[in-house]
Amino acid sequence: MSAHLTHEELTDNLLGVSSLTVNAHLLNCPTCAHELQQMKSAITEFHGAAHAWSEKAVAVERAVPVTDALAKRSSFPGWFAGWALAAAAMILFAAGLAFYVREYQAQNSTSLAKVASPATAISDSQLQIEKDNALLSQVNSELAEGVPAPMQPLQLLDSNASSTSTTK
């Protein structure tokens, strides 16, 4: 009997490529036959477990209609939907922030006005009234004079200045 089967010969047998010499060797070599059997068993067991597992996993997913799932996926690519959501969130945030700032400023100015009015507003209005009254009385006195101010004869403003100039 020749040496044991090579890895390629064993794999070929696993792949279903039959060879007379390999088959004859397997009949006479319990070591190779045992190894091949172990490999076949392991792969068969994995095959069975994989099929049973996947059938169960897919059966759970079948609760969702296929067309719905595909329509959902085909509507937008995932990254695009993500970016669109992020952009919408940013716009909403910016708009909210602007609105809040405007409202805050408006509230601030009205409250400042309210705070300032009790003390100063009253005094300001009284001062204004006094100014107005003074202006009105000045106008009245000017109107009461017979000759308007521009038409009155010229007068020396400073009598001392004129006297000093004459003495020189």
Partner 1 sequence: MAQMTIPVELIALSGDHRISELEDIDALMRLYKPKVFRFVAFSVSDRDAADSITQDCFLKAHLTRNQFRGDCSISTWLMRIAFNLVRDHTKSQKFRFWKKAAATAVDAHEVSQHLPSGASSAEERLIARERAEMVQRSLQELSDKQRSVFVMRFVEEMDLPDIAAATGMSLPTVKTHLYRAVAAVRARLGVTL
Q: Which residues bind partner 1 (CB under 8 A)?
A: 4-5, 7-8, 10-11, 14-15, 31-32, 35, 38-39, 41-58, 61-62, 66-67, 69-70, 73-74
What angle in degrees, to the nearest 10, is found between the helix axes of 7-14 and 30-61?
50
Residue closer to partner 1, measured from CB, 60 or 157: 60
Cβ-based nearer residue to partner 1, 45 or 132: 45
In angstroms, what is the minimal distance from the CB of 22 to partner 1?
14
Q: Is 119 exposed, middle or buried (CB count within 10 Å of its CB: 0-12, 13-18, 19+)? A: exposed
| Phi (first) and psi of residue 20, to 5 degrees | -60, -45
Q: What is the DSSP string of 85-150?
A: HHHHHHHHHHHHHHHHHHHHHHHHHHHHHHHHIIIIIHHHHHHHHHHHHHHHHHHHHHHHSSS-GG
Cβ closest to partner 1, residue 14 vs residue 90: 14
Shortest distance in whole angstroms from residue 89 CB to partner 1:
23
Q: In whole angstroms, how close is the CB of 107 to partner 1 at the nearest point?
A: 45
CB of 84 to partner 1, least distance (A): 19
Give the nearer residue to partner 1 in terms of CB position, either 27 or 43. Answer: 43
